[in-house]
């Protein structure tokens, strides 16, 4: 019988019976929340994990339990990476390339959400610069380390429905800044990056997917007030209608499940170049609701190519 997973599935559910001994996985952002849980589940099933993190001390503390529960032969190494600094991104990527250890899976997990207007070290709007450009440069610089048959998983969000990317004004230089519009742009960019990366690398068997983990209460929401969260939940309910299931928070193991499903459990051909949610490939939905499905603009191949070209210009490198 085919095992089917859904919104309530956990990381242990999707990896049940899976032996990851000999697999090497790179994850950005393993100092809290989904990143820590993703690393824990992988370690428990025998994988070796490299965690790229901004705060090494915090990550060491956050992953103590994951290390303690790791299967025999599994281990976790940490390396410094600040996605809001292209200099840090290059230093981290160069160190990994120099070491030359290949990866079976790369998970672009780290990010920021709905933060006040600001800029990265290189002058990019904080959310676009951190969530997209930092990962764009990092992943492309280490792309040669991803084994044939490997996968890239970008953590996006249902928040991509707030906004398409703005290729003419990515840094809000002419557009009034709104926290959730900026977040939406960056999360759409995460999907488009996966679409174009998949197109460029699938000939050698490397596939890329984007995932929405679901609504989870983690440090990612540190900039959101309780009133903002309550208003968001009310809006989701209004969008879905009175007969729709009521919004429910996911646990962290449930939230990280779609990442591991797309990275390991699902057939590569099914998820390559796609957006996944609740442990399945999402349907394309063109409408105003905030829950369920992926916007057509986020999977647009020409839009993905245009964002890639713009991103190369902004980071000053071609791939």
Which residues are annotated as catalytic? 156, 183, 187
Q: Are 58 and 31 in contact (CB under 8 A)?
A: yes
What token pair was written down for 9? 């599935």
Compute the chain's Rg from CA coordinates.
18
**Which pair of structure tokens corresponds to residue 298?**
């986020």
Question: Which residues on adjacent β-strands are paired with residue 275?
Answer: 210
Q: How far apart are CA 204 and CA 220, in angstroms?
A: 34
Looking at residue 94, the DSSP 8-state letter turns out to be: H
Q: In angstroms, how far is the first alpha carbon of the chain from the final one?
A: 43
Decide: 138 and 81 in contact? Cβ < 8 Å. yes
Per DSSP, the three-state class of 254 is helix
């Amino acid at each position: 019988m085919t095992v089917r997973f859904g919104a309530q599935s956990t990381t242990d559910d999707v990896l049940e019976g899976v032996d990851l001994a000999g697999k090497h996985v790179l994850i950005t952002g393993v100092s809290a929340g989904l990143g820590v849980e993703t690393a824990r589940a992988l370690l428990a099933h025998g994988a070796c994990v490299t965690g790229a993190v901004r705060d090494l001390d915090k990550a060491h503390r956050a992953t103590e339990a994951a290390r303690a529960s790791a299967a025999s032969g599994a281990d976790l190494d940490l390396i410094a990476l600040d996605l809001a600094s292209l200099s840090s991104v290059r230093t981290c990527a160069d160190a990994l390339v120099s070491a030359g250890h290949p990866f079976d899976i790369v998970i672009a997990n780290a990010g920021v959400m709905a933060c006040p207007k600001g800029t990265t070290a290189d002058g990019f709007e904080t959310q676009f610069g951190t969530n997209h450009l930092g990962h764009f440069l990092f992943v492309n610089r280490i792309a040669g380390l991803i084994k044939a048959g490997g996968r890239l998983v970008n953590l996006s969000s249902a928040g991509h429905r707030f906004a398409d990317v703005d290729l003419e004004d990515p840094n809000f230089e002419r557009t009034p800044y709104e926290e959730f519009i900026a977040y939406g742009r960056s999360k759409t960019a995460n999907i488009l990056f996966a679409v174009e990366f998949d197109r460029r690398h699938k000939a050698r068997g490397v596939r890329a997917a984007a995932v929405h983990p679901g609504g989870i209460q983690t440090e990612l929401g540190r900039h959101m007030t309780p009133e903002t969260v309550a208003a968001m939940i009310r809006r989701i309910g209004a969008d879905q209608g009175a007969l729709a299931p009521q919004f429910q928070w996911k646990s962290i193991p449930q939230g990280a499940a779609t990442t591991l499903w797309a990275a390991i459990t699902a057939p590569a051909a099914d998820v390559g170049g796609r957006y996944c949610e609740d442990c399945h490939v999402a349907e394309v939905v063109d409408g105003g609701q905030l829950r369920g499905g992926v916007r057509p603009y986020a999977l647009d191949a020409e839009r993905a190519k245009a964002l890639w070209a713009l991103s190369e210009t902004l980071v000053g490198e071609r791939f």
